[in-house]
Amino acid sequence: MVAATSSLRTAAFTVGAILVVAAAVAFGSLMKTSTQVQTPIAAGSIQPAPKASPPPTAEALPPVPTAAATQPLAALADDADLSQLRTRALTLPVQGVNVVQLTDTYTQARAAGVPHEALDIMAARGTPVLAVEDGTVAKLFSSKPGGITIYQFDPGSQYAYYYAHLDRYADGLAEGANLRKGQVIGYVGSTGNASPDAPHLHFALFKLGPERQWWRGTPLNPFLVWRDARI
């Protein structure tokens, strides 16, 4: 009896020991897993989000050209246009007027300080006005400042010629008509805001934009087209 009881106690102790060991192993595994999950991420292991590129600094921008290094773009464009127009040998628009008689009135101020941007050619009333080159009549127009006027386009519709303060048009002149260089298109007068005591032709020249609008463009100095002929 004693032997049997001793055997049972030994077996129970063995089973208990096994259970304790198993529980310890299970608990250790659980703690290991928990430690891995809760381990904080090391500082610096997360890559920061990319920052937006800063605006360029003044030092990073291209240098601004100085007046000594280059001319203004507008001046360069004017020079190219004037050079091209000089090759066309444009006729002076007032019959009987010589190149040496011209005075540069382009930069003179007019009413309210508005720049003139044209060439005034003084002549007796009724003096024939001539087309400076071939082209077409883009518009016949009467206005308070310009009086009786003509807008002529050159053959390529690149430039426009403006004749103002006319006394009248040449007979038969009409919009859309083809013009020949030197053709009489009107007569010097003083219509519009010109002084009745100083009849003259107000002649302007401008480069047309892509829209080819007869009333709008980039003004050019007509005097400079003929200036080289005086040198």
- pLDDT tens, position by position, 81-131: 999 999 999 999 999 999 999 998 888 877 667 788 899 999 999 999 999
Does 209 have pLDDT greater than 80?
yes
Residues 79 and 12 in one domain: no
Q: For residue 46, is it within any domain?
A: no
Q: Do both 209 and 104 map to the same domain?
A: yes
- Considering its fold, how many domains does the chain have in total? 2
In a domain, 25, yes or no: yes
Please report, for the domain that includes residue 223, its CATH number. Answer: 2.70.70.10
How far apart are alpha carbons 25 and 43 in whole angstroms?
32
Q: What pLDDT is stored for residue 72 in this prediction?
A: 45
Which pLDDT tens digit goes with each residue over 158-178? 999 999 999 999 999 999 999
Which residue is listed with tokens 């519009």?
Answer: 192
Higher pLDDT, 158 or 1: 158
151 assigned to some structural domain: yes
Question: Are residue 113 and residue 192 in the same domain, yes or no?
Answer: yes
Q: Are 18 and 88 within one domain?
A: no
Query: Mean pLDDT over residues 195-204, rounded?
Result: 95
Per-residue confidence (pLDDT) for residue 172, from 0 to 100: 97
6 and 81 share one domain: no
Is residue 27 located within the same domain as residue 90?
Answer: no
What does the pLDDT read at residue 116? 82
Give the end-to-end CA distance of the chain in Å, rounded to a whole number.
148
Residue 201: pLDDT over 70: yes
Give the pLDDT of residue 178.
Answer: 98
Considering the chain, what is the average pLDDT of its residues? 76
Q: What is the mean pLDDT of residues 216-230?
A: 84
- Shared-domain flag, residues 111 and 27: no
Residue 111 lies in a domain: yes
Non-local CB neighbours of 176 within 8 Å, separated by 6+ positions: 136, 137
What is the predicted pLDDT for the residue at 227? 83
Residues 134, 211 within the same domain: yes
Residue 18 lies in a domain: yes
The residue that leads in pLDDT, 94 or 75, is: 94
Task: Look at residue 2 in the predicted model and tell me its pLDDT.
Answer: 41
- The pLDDT tens digits for 21-47 are 454 444 454 444 444 444 444 444 444
- Residues 70 and 209: beta-carbon distance below 8 Å: no
Q: Give the per-residue pLDDT at 111.
A: 67
On whether the CB atoms of residues 147 and 165 are closer than 8 A, the answer is yes
- Helix locations, 105-192, DSSP H: none
Rounded to whole angstroms, how far apart are CA atoms 53 and 43? 25
